[in-house]
Structure 1
């Protein structure tokens, strides 16, 4: 019993330390303000055709520019691309990637990104599909937008739908790089009444910590 108890307490303390670290190094904003650009974005307008209520948040991390790899600041778009690679190819997404690979990797999804190497080297152009759960639908010098919630092979309306906006830009006034993962989830399959989003609170809470994890581990690829 002593070994079991010690293992239990070690696990609890380690988990608490990780949550404390993520809470200290990232900032979560929820709900998104009414003037957030996502509400007028092409992806949101295209897929949330019924304008149903959504669950939405954004996780942000600020990094001093002197900690960013200098080569990522030379060319517009390189910063967000490397951050996107870090989000999907990094430690934070590793467990989900392996789970999805066991379930869905095969001949029907052979053209998608599955391995860490693929995720770490892709240019994430529009149309890129990864782990049978995400598809890039827009790309700008500061944002890479992916549709999520279901397999990209399901191109129509979905009971589980949404957009992830992976962003990175330079705040010259504060001499910082600002990276973020913005999430908007909704039901696009039918008209829903009310203002409650599609995700119950007991799922919302771990999702927000997962967003913090993806943001933090994704940022590791940017620093020297």
Structure 2
């Protein structure tokens, strides 16, 4: 008996839930499949924790956040996942290289595989998508320079030795304010004294259109699903970095 529930039809979801519709589709397709069990999933992702993160955080006052949310609309979903690993367990230890490898691990890892295939099937053949990253090999080797477009859903808007930030929620070809919008940051901080590296995944989803000025947070079930998805991305990305 097939216990895998079919992914929900994205076209039936409101535009502001495009990201989370994909999240739920992936979840229903097997990420937290009942056959696996929530307990087993929790065990697999037990090293990933969530830290307090809200609209008062300094991140939301930086130039890149202000540029992509000029009206300062309130987030409809915001979270910050972390995982700390001893440097001795990592193949790469230099800050800038580790940040890029972490980013590569997110997009080429198994955690993103289902969504990558879904977006590829739906959008790759459309006009203007030829220069985007689609193949797993490309995602595993890209330098992720500013302007890099990923599977018609993400675009790199900042890349420093400590972080890679992508705009998300809709096609990068849509540069206007969007009902489904936001920034997703992949960051690495190192502690030389403790000899550890801490990996961060930060998500800030916003309706950046005028209507988003009074937007309410998404229902708890969407926030919960996104946290599960984030934990999966963290685990599949960081495990690729282990020596």
How big is each residue's C-alpha offset from its partner over 1:23-55, in whole Å with a ceiling of 9 and x where there is no partner? Answer: 411001244372x33112222101112211102
Question: By how many angstroms is 1:193 displaced?
Answer: 4.6
Larger Cα-atom Rg: 1
| Match of residue 222 from structure 1 | 241
| Match of residue 59 from structure 1 | 81
CA pair 173-196 structure 1, distance change in 2 beyond 3 A = farther
Equivalent of 1:176, from 167, 173, 196?
Answer: 196
Question: By how many angstroms is 1:73 displaced?
Answer: 1.8
Question: By how many angstroms is 1:194 displaced?
Answer: 4.4
Equivalent of 1:45, from 50, 66, 69?
Answer: 66
Equivalent of 1:25, from 21, 24, 47?
Answer: 47
Say whether residues 1:84 and 2:106 are aligned partners. Answer: no
Aligned to 2:210, the other structure's residue is in SS state: coil
Would you say the 8 A contact 1:77–1:140 is kept in 2?
yes
CA pair 6-138 structure 1, distance change in 2 beyond 3 A = closer
Structure-1 separation of matches of 2:163 and 2:213: 31
| Structure 1: tracts of 5 or more residues without a match | none
Structure-2 separation of matches of 1:87 and 1:6: 27
Would you say the 8 A contact 1:32–1:58 is kept in 2?
no
Supply the RMSD in Å over aligned alpha carbons.
2.2
Question: By how many angstroms is 1:167 displaced?
Answer: 0.5
How big is each residue's C-alpha offset from its partner over 1:91-142, in whole Å with a ceiling of 9 and x where there is no partner? Answer: 0000000000000002420100000000000000000001000000001101
Say whether residues 1:96 and 2:96 are aligned partners. Answer: no
User: Which deviates further from its counterpart, 140-149 or 185-194?
Assistant: 185-194
Structure-1 separation of matches of 2:195 and 2:174: 42
Would you say the 8 A contact 1:136–1:145 is kept in 2?
yes
Question: By how many angstroms is 1:85 displaced?
Answer: 0.2
The within-5 A match list for 1:1-224 is: 4=1, 12-32=34-54, 34=56, 36-54=57-75, 55-69=77-91, 72-74=92-94, 76-106=95-125, 107-194=127-214, 196-197=216-217, 199-224=218-243
Q: Could you state the TM-score of these two structures normalised by the residue count of structure 1? A: 0.88
Q: Could you state the TM-score of these two structures normalised by the residue count of structure 2? A: 0.81
CA pair 96-30 structure 1, distance change in 2 beyond 3 A = farther
CA pair 108-67 structure 1, distance change in 2 beyond 3 A = same
